Structure 1
Amino acid sequence: MIIGVSKKLLFLIGLFQIVFNPLFGQNQKLADSLVSVYDGSTFNGDPLPLLKEIAENQTDPDDILHYSELLIKNARKDSLVNTLLSGYLLKGHAFKKKGDNTQALKAYFKSLEYANLINDNKGKGSIIISVADTYSEMENHNNAERYYQQGIEILRLVNDSINLASALLNAGDEFFNSKKYDKALAYFEESGYIFEAIDYPIGKAYNLGNVGMVYAEQRKDKLAEENIDAAISILEELKDYYPISVYLTYMSDIYSRQNDYKSAFAYANRSLELALAYNLKSQISDAYLQLASLSNMTGDFKGAYDKFKLHISYRDSVVNISSVQQMAELRTNYELSQKQTELDLLAQQKKTQQIIFVATSIALFFIILLAIGLYRRNRFIKRTSNIIEVEKGRSDELLLNILPEETAQELKDFGKVKSRRFESVTVLFTDFKNFTQVSENMSPEAIVESVDFYFSKFDEIIEKYELEKIKTIGDSYMCAGGLPFPLEDHAFKILLAALEIAEFVKANSFNDSQYKIPFEVRIGVNTGAVVAGVVGKKKFAYDVWGDTVNIASRMESSSESGFINISENTYQLVKDYFDCEYRGEIQVKNRGMMKMYYVLSLKDHLNLINTLEGYEVSGINNKT
């Protein structure tokens, strides 16, 4: 469960009993002491409870992510469902604090799968509230209110005071963000009563802070200041600085309205210092925006401009690590470690031979030297084994970046991958119009940057719809749905992705800049049977073959710019969900006459998919 604080920042307090202790509150001092135990040379117990408690008590999102992933990795070895549920929930909280809501939702829904697997209603209620919190932060108010209602109903039935109060507080925060202040105060009143009754300090702190922010928005500055000061006082004792950073910006707002700019600057600067110390990017952005506003009010226009640029920079920042560079570094490090191991072993063997030679002369000295040599050798072997284990883990991670998980595991277990036939798969091809002609007049750097710009977005879209990227060839992009795991709705998801790809390319077709070339895209889709497998021995590649793939390619080449052209097979699967335009029978190379259809948009009544699945699909109108 996450407790809500306005300005779109949500905070951990209490979770259901299977994941956290009932009186859980983030405690960095406790986390630091537990890390010392975990890292200590004398610890030899079960690491899972310790890792879970460390992750629960961390306040830095990077630390929460690190220890939650360790927890998941260890729990997966023994298929411990309860612990996997906890690990993915903590992972979701970490991504949420880092501002990566897409990854947070993926982790939450994974945790919800495990809760459903063991029929844990208390866990489901708390996870659903975390999903609602995420939609609230994304300003998807319909989804947020719907999930809050579901989660609160479940938590009322399971008699869980802490999590119920937390859910009520977060729901109140959602109403605050949508400016429904009376509803927000009603929810805060109920949550505050529960926190007071069970004497839950961190819950009382967040409740006081949120009530203070409602009063601040209503211009009741005195009441706002009293509540926020009380909240900050409790949070400072708990060393929970994340929400303090938010509350401080509200204190700055209050003093700026009173024309006390000295105090307003002091609160805003303190908020920025805390946000920078804990790498809270969204709050760093808010603090810089507050300082820019204050600088503008006081006539410091250059300072306002500089702070506003920093606000934009942090707001739009995205961590982007090059996969190619990471792959090269992992491979290089592994090969170097292997070579070094061989050299060290040779050196050790030579040293051992010298020891044996000397030992033949002096028996007592031989025994002493042999004992020393064996001790050092054992330490060396242990150290080398640890290095090999670490590098093996890195290699496994690298393999998962190249192949689907099931395929990668088969490759590791048997050294090869058997080809599999899938009876129903939907294949999508894209191609840029006049790519060759346009690229002839551009520098290689501009071409690469442009293709990377579009294909990176395509990657995000297909990952969003749980599809599998197959490959790219020049300016052609290929993906598929329904493998490596069969899906019933693969054609539906492929077309959702196709609509979003077409809309993205269309939106950028008139945005000519020094960073990218505007293109127009053709899209073709076909459904049918394929064979999938891995080709190559050194540079593995997951690929698909069959007539279905060839026809999908023909659908793309027979399409027009900005249009999604689908075959009769695909049309029969999706005609009830999408508005399509029949093109008639068109001559296709080596295939004769084939029926084709243009996909225009998702049918109106199915736009409810935004609510049900969290997708945000913009329909395109190919009639324009």
Structure 2
Amino acid sequence: MKNPTGAFLWILVLCTATRMPAQKQGQALIDSLLSVLPAAAEDTGKVELLAMLSFNYYPINPDEGIKYGKQGLKLADELHWQPGIAQLNGHLGINYAVKADYPTAIDHFLSALNGYEELGNKNRSATTLVNIGNIYLLTADYPQALDFYLKALKVQEELGNKKGIALSLSNIGLIYKNQSDMPRALSYFSRALEINEELGLKNNMANNLSSIGIVYDNQENYPKALEYFTKALEIQEELGAKDGIAKSLSYIGSVNFHQEQYEPGLQHLYRSLELAKELGNELVRADNLSLIGAIYLAAAKDTAGNSLGRLGFNGNRRSALLQARKSLDEAIAIQQETSNLKGLAVSYESLSEVAAMLGDYENGYHTQRLFKMVSDSIFNLEKDKKITQAAMQYEFDKKEAATKAEQEKRNAIAREKMNRQKLLLYSFISGFALVLVFMWVFYRQRNRIKSEKKKSDDLLLNILPGKVAEELKITGSAEAQMFEQVSVLFTDFKGFTRLSARLGPKELVGMINECYSAFDRILEKYGVEKIKTIGDSYMAAGGLPVPNLSHAADTVNAALAIRQFMSDYNKKKSEDGMPFLEIRIGVHTGPVIAGIVGLKKFAYDIWGDTVNLASRMEASCEPGNVNISRSTYELTKDAFSFTYRGKITTKDNEEVDMYFVDKLIS
């Protein structure tokens, strides 16, 4: 059972300057503002007053915040006062976000953003970009959230706002964590931590440490997770941050549970539970109760009985199960009230096992059905919205039109097959529930299904990018997607045709396989996506299927690593008196369309002028070199050393500068 609470989300809101006494907060401040409102003149001063009311109402009564925000916005419009219009739109966005009216919140935030950009207010622009990203994060629209966080990061870097940079890095890390891209999540959280340590922002440091701990927990690296959760706890105890202490204790208790250290696990969880009750933090309280129930259940399942003795049950398995049921019942009551579906699914699954071990098969069957219902609800709520752009859709449409009708037929067959499989699975679960006494059959079957599913998923992930594979599993198809900036890499072997005439088929294929396998490992190391191979040509791209800022540097690093591998490979072949392969590598950066076409042996592919120009870079390269275009050079010129080598002319009669990449600047 993983940590149900996930990583931290920092919500940044627009701050409003106030002339009210600093000691007044909450309702006292609101009362002071309301007392002077009736006498206020219809000018910008009243707009500021209404803006302060709108902002200060959002945590107390967002409906009132919206009421005063609309009054202020109307007056600001009448006065044609742009700073007030932008500020009021920002405050209205916050109030609508608190009410979970996310579409209206986005509309107001976008209006605020346009206003701040027109005014040249970069600080407020960055803040609003973060707020928009937060809304998309809350609605699980990760591509949009990432887009706005990256824009905010760019503005904050221009301003040199280190605190804002750290915040955006943390939020971007959270996106990658939610998409199960743990290496990238770890990278961004670590960068944020480094900045917060430099600034001495201890609360933010604790948040970053907890986020890193959660990444390691997801990777099942429990010693590392425990190390970072403990560091976070030490800072939170120093600050007296009770909410953070409660969360860190809960995380540590979860790690103890995974490591089967049940006694310290309960100690940490009960400490966290006491704090959560004091603070009224129902989410953490429910998580703790669910984990406590899981620990008592695990102790009862310990056939040797050692765990029961250490927890004070003296071999009394039934007492441990009853204690587990009590904790799980309490957790479920809170999770139902707070609509915590993921936590509820975990608790129901544990409770069904408890009921079965107690011989309460009727309740066990009922709880298992509830677990299935909640799991289905979670599945149906998951979404992954796609970003498209009409400007480059025409090229993809030409390739797709010829196969669209047959593709839809194939999708329908796939969906029907999936429905039949689901029906079989539901029938199995229902039938199993009637004979719950044979629990060992269930566990064996579940493990086998899990193993087969993993094999199927691994096979699909070997063909398609993870994000595309997930969409294909859920919907039976995958839409094309526009990427504004991707770095495309081509490699080719000089004289391959002549070499193939000299070598036998087995020897030739062996050489190609050895090289391409090494290329695959290099691309995985640098986070670059392999697209396809055609004969002796190898194609890859950085910056998809998930956009990122480092795609150009990642791709050039991969190209240099491939060049080094081939140099070492050819040296060994030459020493052995064997034929060797001379490689040419080209890289170009620009927009592409990516998607799946075809009816059989479908594959993820990319199209656009960027692909053609990347191929030209490779064809114009000298053996043993990496040849890049000016667009790639501009994104990497500070990280590598280069040799300028002239221009080539494209099919549109445009001249493009070319550069050899010499080495990484140490």
TM-score by length of 2: 0.48
Q: What is the distance in 2 between the residues matched to 1:459 and 1:491? A: 26
Measured on the aligned residues, the alpha-carbon RMSD in Å equals 5.4
Does residue 1:76 correspond to 2:114, yes or no? yes
Q: What is the distance in 1 between the residues matched to 2:127 and 2:351? A: 39
Does residue 1:286 correspond to 2:346, yes or no? yes
Which amino acid counterpart does residue 262 of structure 2 have in structure 1? D
Q: Is the 1:232–1:244 Cα contact (8 Å) retained in structure 2?
A: yes
Residue 307 of structure 1 aligns with which residue? 370
Q: Is the 1:72–1:83 Cα contact (8 Å) retained in structure 2?
A: no
| Alpha-carbon spacing, 1:148–1:61, altered in 2? closer, same or farther (3 Å) | farther
**DSSP 3-state at the match of 2:180:** coil
Residue number among 182, 196, 204 corresponding to 1:141 in the alignment: 182
TM-superposed CA distance for 1:123, in Å, is: 0.9
Q: Deviations over 1:75-104 (max 9, x none)?
A: 432324333433333444444445444443
Matches within 5 A, 1:297-446: 297-298=357-358, 300=361, 302-303=365-366, 305-318=368-381, 429-431=398-400
Q: What is the distance in 2 between the residues matched to 1:19 and 1:144? A: 32
Residue 283 of structure 2 aligns with which residue? 242
Q: What is the distance in 2 between the residues matched to 1:169 and 1:154? A: 16
Residue 546 of structure 2 aligns with which residue? none
| Alpha-carbon spacing, 1:309–1:57, altered in 2? closer, same or farther (3 Å) | same
TM-superposed CA distance for 1:19, in Å, is: 11
TM-superposed CA distance for 1:434, in Å, is: 6.2
Does residue 1:527 correspond to 2:609, yes or no? yes
Q: Is the 2:13–2:94 Cα contact (8 Å) retained in structure 1?
A: no
Does residue 1:462 correspond to 2:481, yes or no? yes
User: How many residue pairs end up in the alignment?
Assistant: 400
Q: What is the distance in 2 between the residues matched to 1:175 and 1:212? A: 15
Q: Is the 1:126–1:151 Cα contact (8 Å) retained in structure 2?
A: yes
Residue 33 of structure 1 aligns with which residue? 60
**DSSP 3-state at the match of 1:9:** coil
| Alpha-carbon spacing, 1:167–1:315, altered in 2? closer, same or farther (3 Å) | same
Does residue 1:9 correspond to 2:18, yes or no? no
Q: Deviations over 1:62-81 (max 9, x none)?
A: 36786466344334323243
Which amino acid counterpart does residue 497 of structure 1 have in structure 2? A
Q: What is the distance in 1 between the residues matched to 2:131 and 2:196? A: 19
Which amino acid counterpart does residue 399 of structure 2 have in structure 1? T
Q: What is the distance in 2 between the residues matched to 1:302 and 1:266? A: 18
Residue 520 of structure 2 aligns with which residue? none
| Alpha-carbon spacing, 1:289–1:16, altered in 2? closer, same or farther (3 Å) | same
| Alpha-carbon spacing, 1:434–1:108, altered in 2? closer, same or farther (3 Å) | closer
Q: Is the 1:205–1:230 Cα contact (8 Å) retained in structure 2?
A: yes
Q: What is the distance in 1 between the residues matched to 2:152 and 2:608? A: 34
| Alpha-carbon spacing, 1:440–1:427, altered in 2? closer, same or farther (3 Å) | closer
Which amino acid counterpart does residue 373 of structure 2 have in structure 1? L
Q: Is the 2:86–2:116 Cα contact (8 Å) retained in structure 1?
A: no
| Alpha-carbon spacing, 1:82–1:162, altered in 2? closer, same or farther (3 Å) | same
| Alpha-carbon spacing, 1:455–1:276, altered in 2? closer, same or farther (3 Å) | closer
Q: Is the 1:212–1:224 Cα contact (8 Å) retained in structure 2?
A: yes
**DSSP 3-state at the match of 1:223:** helix
**DSSP 3-state at the match of 2:481:** helix
Residue 152 of structure 1 aligns with which residue? 193
Q: Deviations over 1:341-372 (max 9, x none)?
A: xxxxxxxxxxxxxxxxxxxxxxxxxxxxxxxx
**DSSP 3-state at the match of 1:497:** strand
Residue 274 of structure 2 aligns with which residue? 233
TM-superposed CA distance for 1:226, in Å, is: 3.0
Q: Is the 2:321–2:354 Cα contact (8 Å) retained in structure 1?
A: yes
| Alpha-carbon spacing, 1:19–1:33, altered in 2? closer, same or farther (3 Å) | closer
Which amino acid counterpart does residue 115 of structure 2 have in structure 1? K
| Alpha-carbon spacing, 1:574–1:77, altered in 2? closer, same or farther (3 Å) | farther
Matches within 5 A, 1:52-67: 62=100, 67=105
Residue 497 of structure 1 aligns with which residue? 594
Q: Is the 1:491–1:570 Cα contact (8 Å) retained in structure 2?
A: yes
TM-superposed CA distance for 1:253, in Å, is: 0.8
Q: What is the distance in 2 between the residues matched to 1:211 and 1:109? A: 32
Q: What is the distance in 2 between the residues matched to 1:197 and 1:16? A: 26
TM-superposed CA distance for 1:163, in Å, is: 0.7
Q: Deviations over 1:481-534 (max 9, x none)?
A: 9xxxxx999986766724xx25xx67xx5xxxxxxxxx9689794539xxxxxx
Residue number among 321, 334, 348 corresponding to 1:261 in the alignment: 321
Q: What is the distance in 2 between the residues matched to 1:68 and 1:169? A: 29
Q: Deviations over 1:100-126 (max 9, x none)?
A: 444433332233233223221111112
| Alpha-carbon spacing, 1:112–1:576, altered in 2? closer, same or farther (3 Å) | farther
Does residue 1:572 correspond to 2:610, yes or no? no
Q: Is the 1:285–1:311 Cα contact (8 Å) retained in structure 2?
A: yes
Q: What is the distance in 1 between the residues matched to 2:156 and 2:373? A: 41
TM-superposed CA distance for 1:402, in Å, is: 10
TM-superposed CA distance for 1:571, in Å, is: 3.1
| Alpha-carbon spacing, 1:239–1:59, altered in 2? closer, same or farther (3 Å) | farther
Which amino acid counterpart does residue 283 of structure 1 have in structure 2? G
| Alpha-carbon spacing, 1:435–1:492, altered in 2? closer, same or farther (3 Å) | same
Unaligned runs of 5+ in 1: 21-25, 324-400, 408-421, 468-480, 482-486, 510-518, 529-565, 578-624
Unaligned runs of 5+ in 2: 18-25, 28-55, 73-83, 301-319, 420-470, 487-542, 544-548, 553-586, 622-666
TM-score by length of 1: 0.51
| Alpha-carbon spacing, 1:271–1:240, altered in 2? closer, same or farther (3 Å) | same
Q: Is the 1:461–1:497 Cα contact (8 Å) retained in structure 2?
A: yes
Matches within 5 A, 1:609-620: none
Q: Which one is further off, 47-56 or 30-39?
A: 47-56
Q: Deviations over 1:314-343 (max 9, x none)?
A: 3422467999xxxxxxxxxxxxxxxxxxxx
TM-superposed CA distance for 1:49, in Å, is: 6.9
Q: What is the distance in 1 between the residues matched to 2:257 and 2:409? A: 59
Which amino acid counterpart does residue 321 of structure 2 have in structure 1? Y
Q: What is the distance in 2 between the residues matched to 1:43 and 1:524? A: 47
Residue number among 260, 264, 270 corresponding to 1:223 in the alignment: 264
TM-superposed CA distance for 1:210, in Å, is: 1.4
Residue 559 of structure 2 aligns with which residue? none
Q: What is the distance in 2 between the residues matched to 1:170 and 1:37? A: 35
Q: Deviations over 1:549-593 (max 9, x none)?
A: xxxxxxxxxxxxxxxxx8x6673257799xxxxxxxxxxxxxxxx
Q: Which one is further off, 168-177 or 426-435?
A: 426-435
Residue 544 of structure 1 aligns with which residue? none
Q: Deviations over 1:136-186 (max 9, x none)?
A: 333322112222221111111122121112111211222222233332232
Residue 128 of structure 1 aligns with which residue? 169
